[in-house]
Amino acid sequence: MTTLVGLAVGIPLVAAMLALLLRTAARWRDVVTLGSLVGLTGIATTLLVHVRAEGTVVLRVGGWDPELGIVLVADAFAVLVLLAAVLTITIVEVFAIGQRRSAMGADPTVVGPMLLVLTGGVSLSILTGDLFTLFVGFELMLVASYVLLTHQGRAGQVRAGMTYVVMNLFASTLFLIGVAIVYAATGTVNMALLAERVPDLSDGVRLGIGLWFLVVFGTKAAMFPLFSWLPDSYPTAPTTITAVFAGLLTKIGVYVMIRFHTLTDMDALGPLILVIAGLTMIVGVAGALAQDDVKRILSFHIVSQIGYMLMGLGLFTVAGVAGAVLFLVHQIPVKTVLFLVGGLIEVDRGTSALDRVSGMIASRPGVAVLFALPALSLAGLPPFSGFVAKLALVDAGIDDVAIAIVVVALVGSLLTLLSMVKIWIGVFWGAPDDGERRLVPATSWRTMTTAAATAVGVTLAVAVLSGPLWEMSERAATELLDKEPYVTEVMSG
Amino acid sequence: MSATLIVVIAGLAAIGTYLVTSRLLSRIVLGFALFGHAAVLALVAAGGEDGAPPLADRSTADEMSNPVPQALALTAIVISFGLTLFLLALARRQQQLTGDDLVEDDIEDRRIAAPAIDADGDHLIGYAVAPGARDATIENRSST
């Protein structure tokens, strides 16, 4: 089992090198890319089943003592998010292969290998047991995302790419200084040891570290007021790439925030995080309502949904954190599939501006269905996964008598529904527009819709399996807040 | 950790941050170089007491300086080196496209801010937008 944990990081990186070597041999490149991603999904599933039955798996890289070396920890929280992430990336890769055949996608010689590098960064960030390796994982993920965003070299992409790169580099440098501060204060960067040592620090130093990392991870996660780079840069990338970004990058930011702030006992920051969460929800939705383009509306919704996960963290109760974990697992496929549908609209009509496209329900009823299901899930209507996740959060909020944030969350949900209706009326309803159709080869259209449909299937599966998933989320939250089992596993493992 | 080191870290971070807020990408690159140095120095400073070089055959364990933050610093230097190169490539591409390496405003932001004009025709926020800017935005964005 420990080997599998190592492979989860190793496979995508080795496959990325192979895919780069096979850059020009299209068929082989696709086989390597897709094959390694499917293999990785298998590994993640195996790990999930194993962790659920046997408990946490710890790998000491190179057999070093955890105080000095790198440890990879696959606990309940990690394997849940890992499976959701790699499954989503696999679906996007299928979509990208379909889009490429229609000769309109981004440069396939770049996208395949870079997606794999991004996957490697994502699994390293998820599995790592120390702060510095987390920094390395983040950088791996971000470097791949810089390349994916700007590799076509269009004017708009370079402009947006600059904002994006500068913003993220700044946050990364702050991250590095934060690691230095933590090391100076505690003499270690291993999270299990930090969980023991940080609570013993004086209040000022402890909260300083907590706030510092709140800013760092908050920038990566696009929480209020550090989100302005996201709606500027995401919509300029090709759709497949935006879909990966939307599903993963910000979520990993939230993931590490939940992990770090619970392990180091930052309960004192709870009220502040709740206020930020409320503002993130409302400001994100308000931004979405002001937009008139499918991709831009969805980009603002990424920001808004981050608020719900922060709300779960801010409560610092088992129910709250479990709700945040479940919400994270639901968000990854839902956000991705919405962007994929946005991509389908663009492929069909050449634009995703609301005032240029209308009446698609007549010509492409399938796309309308594919949009409607995840859109309702995003707004949190039953019986979809979004409802289950939001119910868990609202329930936790009421238990904790944090009524204000619950009200804000519900208002945010209503406004989300409103902006989804706006897309629905703008794009699918009404008289068909007389804009030109792009001719898409039938096979590639089929591949793309199949990929999108599979992703919708995943989001529905999250709703159907919400019972066992909730169990796992609660276990993850208990382990995070209790810390004892995590520390024992890592130090003795 | 000496007072000089702290002052140097603070100074580098301050100058670096100032340069990063510039509009010219070439200055931003220099800013990140300085800011990155500040981070690396902070890591080295976090190692605590000065000591002999941490080489197994040269000095004993108790007189060595702490090797762990130095290893972290090395990794950080390599990463920032790669990212500096990427930023320079981005600046070069921007210069090819526009003849300058300015970081431009987002046209969409301007367009949304545009209607805020009071009765006298003064702009309350944002900038005026040339007619046709919206179409230009769409051209920029339509990159399936």
Cβ–Cβ gap A159/B104 under 8 Å: yes
Mean pLDDT of the region A349-369: 78
Provide, as residue numbers in chain B, all residues whose Cβ is less than 8 Å from the Cβ of A296: 108
| Shortest CA distance from A175: residue in chain B | B39
pLDDT band at residue B116 using 50, 70 and 90 as cut-offs: low
Min CA distance, B102 vs chain A (Å)?
Answer: 9
Residue with tokens 């299937």: A457
Lowest mean pLDDT among A68-82, A97-111, A289-303, A445-459: A97-111
pLDDT on residue A178: 93
For residue B43, the chain A residue with the least C-alpha distance is A180
Query: For residue A405, what are its two tokens?
Result: 């944030």
Proportion of chain A above pLDDT 90, given as a percent: 30
CA of residue A166 relative to chain centroid, distance: 21
- Token pair, residue B144, equals 């399936």
User: What's the DSSP call for residue A464?
Assistant: H
* ∠ Cα A152 A143 B95 (to 5°): 45
Contact A374, A129 (CB under 8 A): no
Q: Is the pLDDT reported for residue A205 higher than 60?
A: yes
Chain B positions touching A160 (Cβ under 8 A) are 106
Answer whether A312's CB lies under 8 Å from A393's CB.
yes
Q: Looking at per-residue confidence, does A433 or B63 come out higher?
A: B63
How close, in Å, is residue B128 to chain A by CA atoms? 18
Partner A contacted by B18 (CB < 8 A): no
For the ranges A93-107, A185-199, A440-454, the maximum mean pLDDT occurs at: A185-199
Contact A173 B35 (CB under 8 A): yes
Residue A491: partners with Cβ closer than 8 Å, 6 or more residues away? A66, A192, A193
Distance, CA of A389 to CA of A372 (rounded, Å): 18
Top-confidence residue, A263 or A400: A263
Per-residue pLDDT reduced to its tens digit, A80-107: 999 999 999 999 888 888 877 655 556 7
Kindly list the distances between the CA atom of residue A220 and the CA atoms of A174, A253, A254, in Å, as whole numbers in the listed order. 11, 5, 8
Q: Do B43 and A343 touch (CB under 8 A)?
A: no
Per-residue pLDDT at A422:
86
Q: Which residues contact A329 (CB under 8 A, 6 or more apart)?
A: A80, A81, A84, A389, A462, A469, A473
Q: Residue A476 is encoded by which pair of tokens?
A: 């993850």
The residue ranking higher by pLDDT, A446 or B9, is B9
- Whole-number pLDDT of residue A290: 85
Q: Which residues of A touch B8 (CB under 8 A)?
A: none
CB contact under 8 A, B43 and A183: yes
pLDDT interval class at B129 (50, 70, 90): very low
Average the pLDDT over A396-400 and give the result. Answer: 87
What rounded mean pLDDT belongs to chain B?
77
pLDDT value at position B114?
A: 60
Interface test with B, best of A70, A158, A189, A296 (most B CBs within 10 A): A158
- Residues in chain A within 8 Å Cβ distance of B138: 351, 353
Q: Is 70 exceeded by the pLDDT of residue B143?
A: no
Please report the pLDDT score of residue B144 as a whole number: 38
Cβ count near B127 (within 10 Å): 12
B82 in contact with chain A, both atoms CB, cutoff 8 A = yes
User: How many alpha carbons lie under 13 Å from residue A1 in its C-beta half-sphere?
Assistant: 19
Q: What is the mean pLDDT of residues A301-307?
A: 91
- Taking contacts as CB-CB distances below 8 angstroms, the residues of chain B near A164 are none
pLDDT at A416 over 50: yes
pLDDT, tens only, A28-68: 888 888 999 999 999 999 999 999 888 888 888 888 888 88
Distances in whole angstroms, Cα of residue A156 to Cα of each of A293, B93, B96? 16, 12, 13
Query: Kind and range of the H or E element at A53?
Result: helix A26-54
Q: What is the pLDDT of residues A151-172, one digit of tens each?
A: 887 887 888 888 889 889 999 9
Which DSSP state fits A63?
Answer: G
Q: Tell whether the torsion through CA atoms of A15, A18, A24 and A27 is positive or negative.
A: negative
B107 pLDDT tier (thresholds 50, 70, 90):
low
What are the structure tokens assigned to A192, written together? 């299990």
Residues of B in contact with A343 (CB under 8 A): 144
**Per-residue burial over B55-83, b = 16 or more CB atoms within 10 Å of its CB, e = otherwise:** eeeeeeeeebbbebbeebbebbeebbeeb
* pLDDT value, residue B138: 45
> Comparing B50 with A263, which gets the higher pLDDT?
A263
Q: What are phi and psi of A263, to 5 degrees?
A: -65, -35
The Cα A469–Cα A475 span in angstroms is 10
Residue B126 has what pLDDT?
Answer: 45
pLDDT-based confidence at B41, cuts 50/70/90? very high
Q: What is the pLDDT of chain A when averaged over all its residues? A: 87
Backbone angles phi, psi at A353, to 5 degrees: -75, 135
Beta bridge partners of A57: A74
Sequence spans of domains, chain B: 3-98, 107-138
The residue among A295, A341, A365, A343 whose CA lies nearest residue A455 is A341
Whether the per-residue pLDDT at A11 is higher than 70: the answer is yes
User: What residues are paired with A466 via a beta bridge?
Assistant: none
Contacts across the A-B interface (CB distance below 8 Å): 121
